[in-house]
């Protein structure tokens, strides 16, 4: 090992995964005990909060795919030389995706909470709804892990791609169980579908 290289530490990914899991768990607990309300939410100009969340989730899904392609390109996995602007574009689109994820997560937890078991009318909560709520909490935990992975210079080389892959997989699952399901069941927001 060269003298200028920092030693690699397993404590960084282990701590990051532990903190990410605690964040996801705390969000789930908050979502379960919080009394859902539309007070304190915004539509950002969309007709409803749900419409806003669906559109932003589609944008997040597209950004997640672009993040995957960008990462593969930057690390030479596409067989093409990465242009000089790609790193900046990758960081910028990642930051935008993270902000949008936080906006959607806030609105999900605040307006809907974490639904499990049965609704107030005694009807069981659909498995898709439960899975989406749990995935949403896990996405935020995985985002914490990914931010640590991006910022750490002493973590093992596998940490960043694993953190990125985990966040990507959870995001895709969350978008599939929310926005994609909604569009399939009701059409594009505002289309009257």
Which residues are paired to 124 by β-bridges? 118
Confidence of residue 8 (pLDDT cuts 50, 70, 90): confident
The vertex-182 CA angle with 176 and 183, nearest 5°, equals 95
Contacts of 118 (CB under 8 A, 6+ apart): 124, 125
Percent of the chain with pLDDT over 70: 96
Residues 120-159: b if buried by 16+ CB within 10 A, e if exposed = eeeeeeeeebbebbbbbbbbbbbbbbbbbbeebeebeeeb
pLDDT in tens, 29-88: 999 999 999 999 999 999 999 999 999 999 999 999 999 999 999 999 999 999 999 999
Confidence of residue 6 (pLDDT cuts 50, 70, 90): low
User: For residue 146, which of 129, 128, 181, 171 has the smallest C-alpha distance?
Assistant: 171
Taking the domains of the chain in order of start, what are their residue ranges? 41-181
Q: Does the pLDDT at position 192 exceed 90? A: no
How is residue 184 annotated by DSSP? H
């Amino acid at each position: 090992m060269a003298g200028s290289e920092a030693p690699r530490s397993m404590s960084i990914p282990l701590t990051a995964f532990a903190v990410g899991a605690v964040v996801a768990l705390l969000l789930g607990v908050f979502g379960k005990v919080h009394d859902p309300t539309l007070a304190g939410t915004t539509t950002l100009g969309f007709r409803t909060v749900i419409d806003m969340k669906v559109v932003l989730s589609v944008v997040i899904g597209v950004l997640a795919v672009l993040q995957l392609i960008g990462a593969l390109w930057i690390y030479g996995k596409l067989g093409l030389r990465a242009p000089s602007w790609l790193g900046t574009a990758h960081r910028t689109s990642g930051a935008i995706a993270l902000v949008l994820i936080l906006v959607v997560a806030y609105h999900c937890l605040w307006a809907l909470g974490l639904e499990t078991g049965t609704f107030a009318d005694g009807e069981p909560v659909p498995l898709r709804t439960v899975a989406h709520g749990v995935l949403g909490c896990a996405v935020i935990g995985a985002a914490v892990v990914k931010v640590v992975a991006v910022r750490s210079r002493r973590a093992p080389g596998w940490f960043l791609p694993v953190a990125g892959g985990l966040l990507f997989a959870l995001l895709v699952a969350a978008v599939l169980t929310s926005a994609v399901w909604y569009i399939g069941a009701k059409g594009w927001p505002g289309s009257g579908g």
